[in-house]
Chain A
Amino acid sequence: MKTIIKYVTLDLVRNKIMIIYALILAALSFSVLSIDSNSSKGLLSLLNVTLLFVPIISILFATIYFFNSIEFIELLLSQPVKRNKVLLAEYIGLAATLCIAYTIGIGIPLAILAPVYASVVLLVSGLLLTLCFSAIALLIFVLFKDKTKGIGAAIITGLFFTLLFDGLLIIFIYSFSDYPIDKPILGIISFNPVDLARILMLLQLDVAVMMGYSGALFKKFLGTATGSVYTVVCMLFWVIVPLFISLKIFKKRDL
């Protein structure tokens, strides 16, 4: 498995799109961080970049990559290797490369221009998002036989989590505003890795106060370490669950 991970990564780090992705992120980070002397503001801008680009790019690139590797996967599977190992190796190799690109694009500028604790959290939430959405891409890959349909599903999923989910959430909040909905909202939020990443990051910045302003529960829950731990654990679930389901399906899937 290590062998496959190694070669998949070696292949992907030379992928043009991957290099462009890292470069664009780096350009954005350097410009945002050097314009603003206030690191908190710069971090918020980078958070927006992360929340918009990372899910969409990760899921799209990963889906396309998996579908393009189907013959390669067949070749590997004609060797005496377990199916699970091949699929997992493909995922790890891809996720590792996306993470490297994000670390270069966002992490290095942060380390140079804003070496604060919140920067570490931004990096972590970006990496977790990358892992989540590559895992979801893997699930899409094993669920769809057709590449075009798969890419369509990836686009829809990406948009769903970055935009539509929050839209539905606000409709929900609006419709049930007469009821105590603080707790359900926290529950619902757990179903969207993008929201989780956003909240995880906001909790590290002083703007978290703005959320605390709105209700005792948010303050009590999100204001403590519990909030951060909870969001991270939820995001890890978003990596593990799709991966697990993918492996399960892939075991029985025809190629």
Chain B
Amino acid sequence: MRRAEVICFVLFVFVCTHANARNSKVFANSPGSLQQAIDKTMPGDTLFVQKGTYKEHDIHINKRLVIIGDNWPVIDGQNKYQLLTIEHDSVAVIGLQLQNTGRSSLTDIAAIKLLNANYITVRNNKLYNNTYGVYLQNANNNIVDGNIIQSNSVDELNSGNGVHAWKSAYLTISNNIISGHRDGIYFEFVTDSHITNNRSFKNVRYGLHFMFSHRDAYRKNVFMDNGAGVAVMFSKFVEMYDNTFVHNWGDAAYAILLKEISDSKIIHNRFIKNTVGIYFEGTSRIQVLNNEFKENGWAMRVQASCSENNFERNNFESNSFDVATNGTMMLNTFRQNYWDKYDGYDLDKNRIGDVPYYPVSMYSVVTEKIPAAMILYRSFITDIMDQVEKILPSVTPDQLKDDAPMMKSWNLQ
């Protein structure tokens, strides 16, 4: 519904500009030509920025305007300045190359900044080596689509986020390729938004990071090789569908870290080769369905503070540990998952194992209590412990079990 509105509005703007607006061109021939050109336009105009390098900064757009780059003209901040600031509704920025903003720890310096601006489209731009890529503050109903946002941050302190949104709503972040920032996509107080089909990789901290952002949907994104994976906290009604989380590998890395998340859905995602697939802390009423967990260190760590979460029809294959937990109580349900470590039988041939599967191994309980025991990783004693525990359960939480484990893996393609 929201999306439809946005599209209608963009169409409306488009029609308007063609009905009674002028087109104008700007060339990179004199300093300050871009800002002058913008100042000369009337609301609703279209400005064609011609190929060339514009060494301009702090360009302000405060009227209804479409800016289209001809073959990616370069706007260069010379590692000192901020570039484009949009402070008016209904602006479109298409096909520019914005690079080399300054770096500052005092202010957030961005290539494209949206301040209190709505119905903005930022599309097909190339953003290279900026502190912040696209920065949205108090800006609703905006589209950030098809941009390439790259930087080369090395630490968290002197870097900014690829797409940064604060106190916004009804955003669409789609088809962007984001890498080398602090966080690939950062949301704080952003609601009712769609994040679709982005690729976020090799960011210093998180591929995706959001807090206090309710009713957002994340679909078909790929998060790879990020320093600490994806962190989502203090949010409700989050939907995560069809995403892929690959190789978030490091000693404090999670494919997803969930903290205080409730009433959310994590469906049909793939978690491959992460130190921890999903880390649950203080989560409740989350549906974790049809996901694939493969070759992770821990497929899931479910802290005892979690309740009423539902884990169904997931595949767990080749993980070092399937599930780890820090308590003995377990208020979540596991059903009809496929566990490759399950060695039960199926006498009635209904494809469901006849004995429950206990996904928490004794060794994982021990390491959870005493991390130092990790020094014995892959030694025989741990195998023996697990085997003994299977026969005589004593330490592992006995409520944490899958009563209906599948004999064969689900086809989740």
Chain B nearest CB from A133 CB (Å) reads 16
A residues less than 8 Å from B249 (CB atoms): 206, 209
Bound Cα distance A212, B83 (Å): 42
A169 engages B371 (CB within 8 Å)? no
B378 engages A218 (CB within 8 Å)? no
Interface residue from B251, B367, B375, B381 paired with A163 (Cβ < 8 Å) = B381
Does any Cβ of B come within 8 Å of A198's Cβ? Answer: yes
Does any Cβ of A come within 8 Å of B329's Cβ? Answer: no
B residues less than 8 Å from A51 (CB atoms): 379-380
Chain A nearest CB from B413 CB (Å) reads 19
A212 engages B251 (CB within 8 Å)? yes
Bound Cα distance A177, B375 (Å): 13
Does any Cβ of B come within 8 Å of A44's Cβ? Answer: yes
Does any Cβ of B come within 8 Å of A211's Cβ? Answer: yes
Bound Cα distance A198, B377 (Å): 9
Residues of A172-196 contacting chain B, CB below 8 A? 173-174, 177, 181-182, 185-186, 189, 194-195
Chain A nearest CB from B367 CB (Å) reads 7
Known A174-B370, A209-B251, A209-B275; contact A185-B380, beta-carbon cutoff 8 A: no
Bound Cα distance A20, B361 (Å): 36
Interface residue from B250, B377, B381, B382 paired with A211 (Cβ < 8 Å) = B377
B370 engages A189 (CB within 8 Å)? no
A170 engages B251 (CB within 8 Å)? no
A213 engages B374 (CB within 8 Å)? yes
A residues less than 8 Å from B251 (CB atoms): 209, 212-213, 219
Does any Cβ of B come within 8 Å of A157's Cβ? Answer: no
Interface residue from B252, B372, B379 paired with A181 (Cβ < 8 Å) = B372
B residues less than 8 Å from A177 (CB atoms): 369-370, 372
Does any Cβ of A come within 8 Å of B366's Cβ? Answer: yes
B375 engages A199 (CB within 8 Å)? yes
* Nearest-CB residue, chain B, relative to A164: B381
B380 engages A163 (CB within 8 Å)? yes
* Nearest-CB residue, chain A, relative to B363: A170
Bound Cα distance A49, B205 (Å): 38
Bound Cα distance A68, B366 (Å): 45
B residues less than 8 Å from A134 (CB atoms): none
Does any Cβ of B come within 8 Å of A123's Cβ? Answer: no
A210 engages B375 (CB within 8 Å)? no
A210 engages B372 (CB within 8 Å)? no
Does any Cβ of B come within 8 Å of A215's Cβ? Answer: yes
B374 engages A209 (CB within 8 Å)? no
* Nearest-CB residue, chain B, relative to A206: B249
B250 engages A209 (CB within 8 Å)? yes
* Nearest-CB residue, chain B, relative to A47: B378
A residues less than 8 Å from B384 (CB atoms): 163
Bound Cα distance A192, B376 (Å): 12
* Nearest-CB residue, chain A, relative to B375: A185
Proximity bits, A115-155, B CB within 8 Å = 1, else 0: 00000000000000000000000000000000000000000
Bound Cα distance A214, B249 (Å): 14
Chain A nearest CB from B31 CB (Å) reads 51
Does any Cβ of B come within 8 Å of A111's Cβ? Answer: no
B376 engages A174 (CB within 8 Å)? no
Known A209-B297, A210-B320, A213-B275; contact A185-B372, beta-carbon cutoff 8 A: yes
Does any Cβ of A come within 8 Å of B373's Cβ? Answer: yes
Does any Cβ of B come within 8 Å of A103's Cβ? Answer: no
B381 engages A167 (CB within 8 Å)? yes
B378 engages A214 (CB within 8 Å)? no
* Nearest-CB residue, chain B, relative to A183: B372
Known A177-B370, A206-B249, A212-B251; contact A169-B320, beta-carbon cutoff 8 A: no
Interface centre among B252, B367, B379, B384 (most CB of A within 10 A): B379
Does any Cβ of B come within 8 Å of A202's Cβ? Answer: yes
B373 engages A170 (CB within 8 Å)? yes
SS class of chain A's interface: helix, strand, loop or mixed? helix
Does any Cβ of B come within 8 Å of A162's Cβ? Answer: yes
Known A174-B366, A214-B367; contact A52-B372, beta-carbon cutoff 8 A: no
Bound Cα distance A150, B155 (Å): 59
A residues less than 8 Å from B275 (CB atoms): 209-210, 213
Chain A nearest CB from B72 CB (Å) reads 38
Residues of A48-100 contacting chain B, CB below 8 A? 48, 51-52
Proximity bits, B333-376, A CB within 8 Å = 1, else 0: 00000000000000000000000000000000011011111111
A residues less than 8 Å from B378 (CB atoms): 44, 47-48, 198, 202, 207
Bound Cα distance A43, B371 (Å): 25
* Nearest-CB residue, chain A, relative to B252: A213
B residues less than 8 Å from A212 (CB atoms): 251
Chain B nearest CB from A172 CB (Å) reads 10
Bound Cα distance A48, B374 (Å): 17
A213 engages B376 (CB within 8 Å)? no
A215 engages B297 (CB within 8 Å)? no
Bound Cα distance A173, B372 (Å): 7
Bound Cα distance A150, B399 (Å): 49
Bound Cα distance A163, B384 (Å): 9
* Nearest-CB residue, chain A, relative to B367: A214
A210 engages B250 (CB within 8 Å)? no
A189 engages B375 (CB within 8 Å)? yes
A residues less than 8 Å from B370 (CB atoms): 173-174, 177
Chain B nearest CB from A123 CB (Å) reads 18
Interface centre among B250, B367, B369, B377 (most CB of A within 10 A): B377
A173 engages B373 (CB within 8 Å)? yes
Q: Which A residues fall within an 8 A CB radius of B?
A: 41, 44, 47-48, 51-52, 162-163, 166-167, 169-170, 173-174, 177, 181-182, 185-186, 189, 194-195, 198-199, 202, 206-207, 209-215, 218-219
7 closest residue pairs by CB, A with B:
A214-B374, A214-B371, A212-B251, A166-B381, A177-B370, A213-B251, A166-B379
Q: Which B residues fall within an 8 A CB radius of A?
A: 249-253, 275, 297, 318, 320, 366-367, 369-382, 384-385
What would 20 more interface pairs be, CB under 8 Å, given A198-B379, A214-B375, A218-B374? A41-B318, A47-B378, A48-B380, A51-B380, A163-B380, A166-B380, A167-B381, A173-B372, A177-B370, A182-B372, A185-B372, A185-B375, A189-B375, A195-B375, A207-B378, A210-B377, A211-B377, A212-B251, A213-B297, A219-B251
